[in-house]
Structure 1
Amino acid sequence: MPKIVDHEQYRREMLSKCFDLFADKGYAAVTMREIAQGLEVSTGTLYHYFPSKKALFEQFVEELNQQEMSMAIAELEGTETLQAAMEALGRYLSKNEDYYIKLTYILVDFSQHQDSKEMWSSAMFKRIDQRCRQAMKDFLGIQDDALASFILCLIDGLILERLWGNEKISFAEQCTLLGKMLTAYLQENPAKKLYENKLNNFT
């Protein structure tokens, strides 16, 4: 009896194994042949699932983002104040610093070889941007897109500082400070809050 292959699961398994390949060699340097060798599949099999390296990379980033969101939500849920939420975020980033530094390197390397307007107009990057902003709004109990984007940009900046070797930057310290700033800002702008419990009990 022929073996039944779950093609979607197989595709996702291949994508999950690509992280170290892209982190070690970079998007531009690694070839589809090298990716196939790293995944221990034939080049033909790889092209059957992914018509090009760019298509593979975009699916890899989206799969990674979905996994990342699930992991982060599982670790960060349950905080009752915005300050506690931001401090939990600082601990989470510290714990996963190596992963986020490698991911940032991968994305920076990819972006160097793409037209920026074309890249950010792609449906995949738009979905990821929307997913990240919505997750941040849900996590912090805010409803302002610009505020969620501001927080995400600050986090990206902190990761870049660590990537460049700035040891003076502390995720925990910066997120604690940001929590205090956001709490004061939202107390002055209550219309930007989505719900109250993230601000309750903050002194």
Structure 2
Amino acid sequence: MPKIVDHEQRRREIVHALWQVIAMHGLEGVSLREVAQAAEVSIGRIQHYFDSREALVLAGLERLIAQAGAAYDATAGAAPRDRLLHVLVQQVPRSELGRIGVTVWYAYLATAVTDHRIRQVLAEALRRGEAECAAHVAALRGVDDARAGAAARRLLALSDGLTLRVLVEELDPDDAIDILRAEVDGESRTRRGVSR
């Protein structure tokens, strides 16, 4: 009887190995050989699923975005405040696995400066995230789209800055999350006419 191969599982394992290589060496350190070694498979196995280094790198980014999207989708039905907090807090690294994920994300961001394909994928993901945040801000504050969009952009910028400080171990993750919660709750109070 022929062996049943779970091709999606194999792709996932290769992408996880890619992320390990990126976390250790950055995107410039990615080669099919390095990924094969991390995945404990042959280069031929990787080429069976990804026809080039560039295809593998792009697939890694797309999977990273898809995982973040699935985690966000799992919050459907939660209050707008909680969904907004999820988007703002999800990138703050609170474990070694989270630190690896954020390190990989920032490696892609750095590469986007010179790689237009990565820049396009990231720009679209960032636009979707900002739109989701803006919708939740609008629900919390009862403001128009322009004001909600501006507030969402400020909150996301704060989240990015706090995440970087946590990543370099200059700020505790719990402190970063407390700051984000306080900011979101300040946005909620503004809606009720309470000044910050």
2:41 is aligned to 41
1:167–1:96 distance in 2 versus 1, CA, 3 Å: closer
2:54 is aligned to 54
1:111–1:119 distance in 2 versus 1, CA, 3 Å: farther
Q: 1:166 aligns with which of 165, 170, 191?
A: 170
User: For 1:87 and 1:78, how far apart are their aligned partners in 2?
Assistant: 14
Q: Percent sequence identity over matched residues?
A: 24
Q: Does the aligned pair in 2 maintain the 1:15–1:60 contact within 8 Å?
A: yes
Q: What is the TM-score normalised by the length of structure 2?
A: 0.70
Q: Does the aligned pair in 2 maintain the 1:21–1:35 contact within 8 Å?
A: yes
Q: CA deviation at 1:159?
A: 0.6
1:130 is aligned to 127
Aligned residue pairs: how many?
A: 185
Where is the helix percentage greater, Structure 1 or Structure 2? Answer: 2
- What root-mean-square deviation, in Å, do the aligned CA atoms of Structure 1 and Structure 2 show? 3.5
Q: CA deviation at 1:21?
A: 2.7
1:191 is aligned to none
1:34–1:157 distance in 2 versus 1, CA, 3 Å: same
Unpaired runs of at least 5, structure 2 = none
1:69–1:50 distance in 2 versus 1, CA, 3 Å: same
Matches within 5 A, 1:14-33: 14-33=14-33
1:180 is aligned to 185
Is the partner of 1:63 in helix, strand or coil? helix
User: For 1:5 and 1:108, how far apart are their aligned partners in 2?
Assistant: 33
1:152–1:53 distance in 2 versus 1, CA, 3 Å: farther
Q: Does the aligned pair in 1 maintain the 2:92–2:98 contact within 8 Å?
A: no
1:195 is aligned to none
Q: CA deviation at 1:64?
A: 1.7
| More moved, 163-172 vs 49-58 | 163-172
Q: CA deviation at 1:146?
A: 4.1
Q: Does the aligned pair in 1 maintain the 2:23–2:100 contact within 8 Å?
A: yes
Q: CA deviation at 1:48?
A: 2.7
